[in-house]
Amino acid sequence: MRDHSMKKSKAETAETRQTILDAAARAFRANGIQATSLADLMAEAGLSHGGFYRHFNSKDQLVAQACASSLASLTDALEAQAHQHGFKAIVEGYLSAAHRDSRADGCPLASLGSELARADAGTRAAAAQGFARMADVMARHIGRRSKARAQSEAAFALAAMIGAVTMARIIDDPQISSALLDDVRQHLDAI
Partner DNA sequence: TGTACATCAGTGAACGCGCGTTCACTGATGTAC
- If the CB atoms of residues 36 and 151 are measured against DNA, the closer one turns out to be 36
- Interface of this chain with DNA, residues 33 to 92, rule: CB under 7 A: 36-40, 47-55, 58-60
Nearest to 162 by CA among 87, 107, 93, 92: 107
- Is 145 near DNA (CB under 7 A)? no
CB of 47 to DNA, least distance (A): 4
Residue range at the interface with DNA (CB under 7 A); choices 12-20, 104-112, 124-132, 176-184: 12-20
Total number of residues binding DNA (CB under 7 A)? Answer: 27
Q: Say if residues 109 and 127 touch (Cβ distance below 8 Å).
A: yes
Residue 13 binds which entry of DNA, a copy of itself, none, CB below 5-8 Å type-dependent: DNA
- If the CB atoms of residues 1 and 190 are measured against a copy of itself, the closer one turns out to be 190
- Is 120 near DNA (CB under 7 A)? no
CB of 98 to a copy of itself, least distance (A): 16
DSSP per residue, the chain? --TTTTHHHHHHHHHHHHHHHHHHHHHHHHH-STT--HHHHHHHTTS-GGGGGGT-S-HHHHHHHHHHHHHHHHHHHHHHHHHHH-HHHHHHHHTSHHHHH-GGGS-HHHHSHHHHTTS-HHHHHHHHHHHHHHHHHHHHTS--S-HHHHHHHHHHHHHHHHHHHHHHHH---HHHHHHHHHHHHHHHHT-
- If the CB atoms of residues 3 and 173 are measured against DNA, the closer one turns out to be 3
CB of 172 to DNA, least distance (A): 22
Residue 162 binds which entry of a copy of itself, DNA, none, CB below 5-8 Å type-dependent: a copy of itself
Sites of contact with DNA (CB under 7 A): 1-2, 5-9, 12-13, 16, 36-40, 47-55, 58-60
